[in-house]
A and B are shown apart, each in its own frame.
Chain A
């Protein structure tokens, strides 16, 4: 304790030097925390995009459906899966899937037609929230359709327009129906944008003569259960079915996340070097400047070990104090950026809304314990090292040499 008090006093004896050191440590810690939180924020946004939109956390299909997507490969007894999901505390939505040609006057496009349960979709993902125009499906068999934005453009169809759907039905006949566009979805995925049309499952049944076939069940626990665990539980509850987590369903997205994880580490490394350099150089310089003083202490009879211990105590004290201030500052700024986000559209002259494409321009931080602990460990570690090296050197010098040291 006495050492601590002594160290504290000693720090304030050269107030300016201490203040410079403290600011270096605090600034580095704060910037690191803020940056880490921002990087985690973009990671999280990517992951949420993957799961919250159309894919959900896990999906159930009949074996072989994913490869062939045949209308005949339906899930046997889908109620069983829905019940199992309820038992796991996860929301579930059943989808029927087929292919067809949509046309509007001279324009036509081959599309995937999804028969969905409009209410359940809102519970497993955010499809209804991504309406660019118009409304979500009404929840009854009314011949309504929601289109991806790219598809709507191809067909020249906006809410209110009528489309003709031609499909090959399950009984081998050609199904043919007029659908009215009620909404246009945007910003989900390239594939959905370009080639997906959503109808009510009852309309799907009528059009495809599908007899209630379900091809896909989407599961989501809203993040309460880890996706892999959710898939495993569902697999157990529904033996004989093909159950996959979103990671297995979206290998390219997983690649993106992996690459982004590596990129995050590279950026973090650059920041750790920049921040560490700040602490290292400031602290190194400060301790080197103290060589004569340390020589004096040695001349007064202190052992080299004692000198090093004293310097280490001072450094730790200074580091803990300053890193604490920096952490508070960093957490404050990161929290602000988590709540309000940073608007990147203000950061350059170029137009971010290119040809009508709008991206989410708000960069939100996501503060995790790791984003606070790692920077504090880094700055504390560097502080200590940067103090110890010159201190050990000074303590080994002949006191007289150290005193005359410039």
Chain B
């Protein structure tokens, strides 16, 4: 907890995530479900990549593997240069804490903490001094547009506001990678659009790397890179010009 995190890797375009022949199946025998089969994928630092695909195509499974919440049945998952298969439980916690930010579909804020404290949580885990935490969290909450709501508890915030807190929490510690599993699925279109603006802005202005999943074509269209999954395999991986930012 008292280890100071390494500075973000200055080398541009480093492969922050690398999946090699990754498969994940549940159950055994005839009844086994193959959530992922033979996925190869690399995400570089600075990317804003969308994982697209219908429900059940394996998006959550893939993100969970990257966050080391789950382990592949076959293949290797390398995050930030570390083979996740070799990580100890403590190393896993450290990786999640220092290198990865996670945004969930259902926000999953810690209900007993205020917006400020939620955003501060990972910094606290890292053992940063209070003054630094305060400065960073205030800045981040400002960025996600929640200035003034710091003292609210999650239940006092709307869905969109809660998800903004979740993003603040994910980026406050300046992780190498932010994973987001259908971050907009529980939001109405307008709020979803605004949230996406926020992510795109963070990516462009601050260079935050995003890997997020979605099954919403509208949302997909905002990403520079779209990786399409179907039945656990990568069906397409396209890089294209991003749509213009809706609002600046």
Contacts and interface: CB of A to CB of B under 8 A. Distances in A.
Interface in A105-135: none
A405 to B, nearest CB: 11
A406 B111 CA distance: 10
Interface string B117-153: 0000000000000000000000000000000000000
Interface in B197-244: none
The A interface is mostly helix, strand or loop, or mixed, namely: loop
A404 B111 CA distance: 13
B109 to A, nearest CB: 12
A138 to B, nearest CB: 84
Interface in B91-136: 111
B12 to A, nearest CB: 45
Interface string B150-186: 0000010000000000000000000000000000000
A224 to B, nearest CB: 68
A321 B150 CA distance: 50
Interface residues of B, number: 2
Chain A interface residue number, banded: under 10
A326 B152 CA distance: 48
Contacts of A404: 155
Contacts of A406: 111, 155
Interface in A371-406: 404, 406
Contacts of B111: 406
B86 to A, nearest CB: 34
A29 to B, nearest CB: 36
B155 to A, nearest CB: 8
A404 B158 CA distance: 13
Nearest to B111: A406
A387 B79 CA distance: 49
A404 B157 CA distance: 13
A281 B155 CA distance: 27
Interface in B24-74: none
A404 B155 CA distance: 9
A406 B112 CA distance: 12
A404 B159 CA distance: 13
A406 B155 CA distance: 10
Nearest to A404: B155
A406 B154 CA distance: 12
A284 to B, nearest CB: 21
A314 to B, nearest CB: 28
Contacts of B155: 404, 406
A254 B111 CA distance: 63
Nearest to A406: B111
A37 B111 CA distance: 48
A212 to B, nearest CB: 92
B110 to A, nearest CB: 12
B43 to A, nearest CB: 36
A110 B33 CA distance: 96
A191 B155 CA distance: 77
B118 to A, nearest CB: 16
A404 B156 CA distance: 12
A405 B155 CA distance: 10
A296 to B, nearest CB: 16
A393 B69 CA distance: 38
A234 B111 CA distance: 79
A52 to B, nearest CB: 66
Interface of A: 404, 406
3 contacts: A404-B155, A406-B111, A406-B155
Top 3 A-B residue pairs of the complex, sorted by shortest distance between their CB atoms: A406-B111, A406-B155, A404-B155
